[in-house]
Amino acid sequence: MEQLVGILVKVLLFAFVAGMFTLVFVVSRRGRKQTEQVRDEYAQLRRLAPERGWTYTAHTQGRIDQYFGVGPFPRSGGNLSAFHYTTGEFRGRSFTYFEYRYNNPMSGGEVADRKQLIVESVFVVKAPGSGPKAEIYRPEFDEKFSIATTDEAAVRDLLGGDLVPFLLSDPRAEDSPIALRGDDLFTWYTGTLSPQAVDERLNYLCDVLERIPTRAWTAA
């Protein structure tokens, strides 16, 4: 009996160790595939810009400092870095998109590889004029969105027309917060840039702008 128990324990131990090795292998393989996919998408982004007549810069500093306090950006500081910084025109509107990266302040340790890197993909399209400072994000507006602003009267003009029905019905709005400051309309998501995301988010911002009444722009 004791011999049988010993054999069973060895079998279970072997199965546990084999299972752990399999798990590590699967996770490692999945991680490599994700890394390869991101590298491939970055290569596509580098090719996409010149093909469309856009300007691409792999890394730049200071150009996005004007966006402090909007969306994922800190409220103060300087010389922020932007990766895959791209500018051009899309559907007749000037745009900028890029990755903004920072270390998660909640992650521990002083060693760099112990800190969690957060990547935010940001898209900015120029509006036809200056509008109120506002952010529209989930949840709570009509049980879906919430609005943060210091100018409620101007925001009422912003939300007139077809914008509210559009935000409530378009599935892109569920994971695409919007911020307006001056003549810049923003959206962003947490994750790396991809060519597919470029077209999706720029189209989304242009669709939003088309549904904002002309009276909302002070210098239209």
Determine the pLDDT at residue 1.
58
125 and 165 co-located in one domain: yes
Let me know whether 8 and 79 are in one domain.
no
Question: How much is the pTM?
Answer: 0.78
- pLDDT given at position 37: 83
- In this prediction, residue 24 has a pLDDT band, given cuts at 50, 70 and 90, of very low
Domain identity same for 151 and 67: yes
Average pLDDT, the chain: 82
- What per-residue confidence (pLDDT) applies to 25? 47
Q: What is the pLDDT confidence band of residue 119, given thresholds at 50, 70 and 90? A: very high
Domain co-membership, 152 together with 166? yes
pLDDT at residue 98 tops 70: yes
**What are 177-202's pLDDT values in tens digits?**
999 999 999 999 999 999 999 999 99
Q: Which two tokens stand for residue 127?
A: 């509006």
Highest mean pLDDT among 5-9, 91-95, 145-149: 91-95
Residues 15 and 94 in one domain: no
- 15 pLDDT higher than 70: no
Number of structural domains the chain divides into:
2
pLDDT of residue 19: 53
Same-domain pairing of 34 and 61:
no
Which is nearest to 131 in space by CA: 71, 185, 177, 182? 182
Residue 203 in contact with residue 91, Cβ under 8 Å?
yes
Print the domain residue range for 10.
1-51
Average pLDDT score over residue span 93-114:
77
Do 86 and 190 fall into the same domain?
A: yes
Q: Can you name the residues that pair with 98 across neighbouring β-strands?
A: 122
User: 189 and 204: one domain?
Assistant: yes
Q: Give residue 114's pLDDT.
A: 58
Whether 37 and 99 share a structural domain:
no
Question: Quick one: 61 and 138 in the same domain?
Answer: yes
Contacts of 149 (CB under 8 A, 6+ apart): 132, 133, 134, 135, 155
Residue 32: pLDDT band with limits 50, 70, 90 = low
Q: Are residues 126 and 211 in the same domain?
A: yes
Q: Which residue has the tokens 């007139």?
A: 160
